[in-house]
Chains A and B, each alone.
Chain A
Amino acid sequence: MSIWEGLAKLFQIKRLFRDVKLFSDNRQENKTYIDKRTQILNINVFKIDSQDEEQLQKVLKKTVQEENQLILEKESDKLFEELLSFDPKNHEELDYFKGRIPYKDLPILRASLFLKSQYEASKSVDKLKTDIMTKYGDRGKNIANLCSAGYFQKIIKPLYQHMSSKPDFTQKEFEARYEIIVMQFPFAVFVSRAMSHNEIKKIIIQKIEINKKYGVKYLRIHGIGGENVKKIKEVIQDKEIESKYTALPEIDSGQEFITVKISF
């Protein structure tokens, strides 16, 4: 007997159902009901008697331990489904970097590509970003920022193509350059909510000096969220920073995002 047949028998369900959802609510009278739209059999574990409870637990335990059944919390299931339907184009991007960037960065890049897709679909990404930072620290934060701003496609991929076209190319040499990009991102500043005007200004000036030393003549400043857009617009008008410009800043901005390219 399958788990589904077992549950139908246990709760004397005659109608067809697809999935099963467990919840606990002392205000609801019904111990089970089937949602007509989703065809989900809802089981209120608060209302079932101890005999049914014992049977239900037996069935659930058996299905996890002996069958290939996954039991997921509702919100995690939603995220899991979104991951399953994740745009295959992003997998192509991930595939490109396999064997090219360090192996340890692949799961971070995968998570970051998902985060980017969620952001582009106007979904909230704060928790996803925190998850990446919690698991992978500063490296995770940097890769997520670089990926969200499109730098893997726009900078790292062309860099690899350029370097690997040379006869004396070595993977080690590319990884050394990649490491600088990931840990120092010399050509970009990512402004977060926690950064003050003076902190942003200090970082911009430091990066301008470093970039000038290596012949890089531009820097991009990125921000997401209205507050950061406002801060960046103020900082780029700061007299000390303005004095370094060789051309007017190129601003691409909406209410909730901003990218400014400054040349010096």
Chain B
Amino acid sequence: MRKIIFDKSATDFILETFDKTVDKEGYIIEKDDPKQRVLTSDAQEIKKDELAGIRKGSEIFVKSDLPSLIQLLDDLGR
């Protein structure tokens, strides 16, 4: 399967692509509703430096820790 990956230096660009930005505490928030922090599929708030990626299912944000990536494998049926 062909891939799209991004370097950490392009994280802001990725967030902007999906109409997101970051609050003072480093959490990813909705650009048009700054009080709304973005949640992962298990309802956790996610910081910019924890972002592993985004997947299908409208826009599901994934954290970069090991359990979250294992969950991603399961969700993708790999």
Residue numbers of A with Cβ under 8 A of B are 3-4, 18-25, 45, 53, 56-57, 60-61, 63-65, 67-77, 79-80, 83-84, 107, 110-111, 114-115, 128, 131-132, 134-136
Interface string of B28-68 (1 = CB under 8 A from A): 00000000000000000000000111111011001011111
Rounded to whole Å, the gap between the CB of B11 and the closest CB of chain A is 7
Main secondary structure of the interface of B (DSSP, over half): mixed
Rounded to whole Å, the gap between the CB of B67 and the closest CB of chain A is 4
Chain B's closest residue to A48 (CB) is: B13
B67 A74 Cβ-Cβ under 8 A:
no
- Chain A residue numbers with a CB within 8 Å of B8 are 73-75
Rounded to whole Å, the gap between the CB of B43 and the closest CB of chain A is 14
- Chain B residue numbers with a CB within 8 Å of A19 are 2-5
Q: Which range holds the interface residue count of chain B?
A: 35 or more
Main secondary structure of the interface of A (DSSP, over half): helix
- State whether A64 and B3 are in contact (beta carbons under 8 Å apart), knowing that A70-B53, A83-B73, A114-B66 are contacts in the complex: no
Interchain CB contact (< 8 A) of A71 among B16, B54, B70, B76 = B54
B72 A23 Cβ-Cβ under 8 A:
no
Among A3, A56, A64, A114: residue with most chain B CB under 10 A: A64
